[in-house]
Amino acid sequence: MGNTLNILFICNKSPWPPHEGGPIAMNNLIEGVLGAGHNVKVLAINTSKYNVDPKDIPDYYKKQTDIELIDIDLSIKTFPAFLNLFTGKSYHVERFISDNFRNKLRKVLSKQNFDIVQIETLFMSPYINTIREYSSASIVLRAHNIEHLIWKRVASITRNPIKKAYLKHLATTLENYEMGVLNKYDGIIPISEKDADFFISKSNKPVQTISFGIVPDKLTDSIAVKTEHALFHIGSMNWIPNQEGISWFLEYVWPYINKEFPDLKLYLAGREMPDKLKKLNQDNVEVVGEVSNAYEFIKSKAILIAPLFSGSGIRIKIIESMALSKAVISTTIGAEGISYTNGKNIMIADDAESFIKAIKELVNDKNKCNMIGNNARALILQEHDNAKLVEWLIGFYCKIIDDKL
Q: Each residue of 241-277: pLDDT tens digit?
A: 899 999 999 999 999 999 999 999 999 999 989 999 9
Q: Which of 246, 228, 257 is nearest to 305 (CA)?
A: 246
Instruction: Please count the CA atoms within 13 angstroms of the CA of 290 that sit on its side-chain side.
Output: 8
Q: What is the DSSP letter of 205?
A: S
pLDDT reading at 222 higher than 60: no
Q: Which of 97-106, 281-290, 304-313 has the lowest mean pLDDT?
A: 304-313
Arithmetic mean of pLDDT over the chain: 93
pLDDT category at 224 given cuts 50, 70, 90 is low
Helix (H) or strand (E) holding 396: helix 386-404
Q: Write out the H or E segment, with its range, that includes residue 33.
A: helix 21-35
Instruction: Report the distance separating Cα 140 and Cα 187, nearest Å.
Output: 5
Q: Does domain 216-383 have CATH number 3.40.50.2000?
A: yes
Other Cβ atoms closer than 10 A to 135: 20
For the chain, residues classed under CATH 3.40.50.2000 are 6-213+385-404, 216-383
pLDDT tens figures, 164-217: 998 899 999 999 999 999 999 999 999 988 899 999 999 999 999 999 999 888
Which residue type sits at 399? K
Reduced to 3 states (helix: H, G, I; strand: E, B; else coil), residue 174 is helix
Phi, psi of 157 (to 5 degrees): -105, 10
Distance from the Cα of residue 118 to its chain's centroid: 16
CA dist 247 and 254 (Å) reads 10
Write the CA distances from 31 to 20, 218, 221, 389, integer angstroms. 16, 13, 21, 12
Q: Kindly give the residue spans of alpha helices, DSSP state H, lying in 144-218.
A: 147-156, 161-181, 193-202
CATH architecture of residue range(s) 6-213+385-404: 3-Layer(aba) Sandwich (3.40)
pTM reported for the whole predicted model: 0.85
Instruction: Tell me the torsion sign for CA atoms 279, 284, 288, 289.
Output: negative
Query: What's the confidence (pLDDT) of residue 311?
Result: 67
Closest CA to 310 of 67, 148, 132: 148
Q: What distance in Å separates the CA atoms of residue 125 and residue 397, rounded to the nearest whole number? A: 18
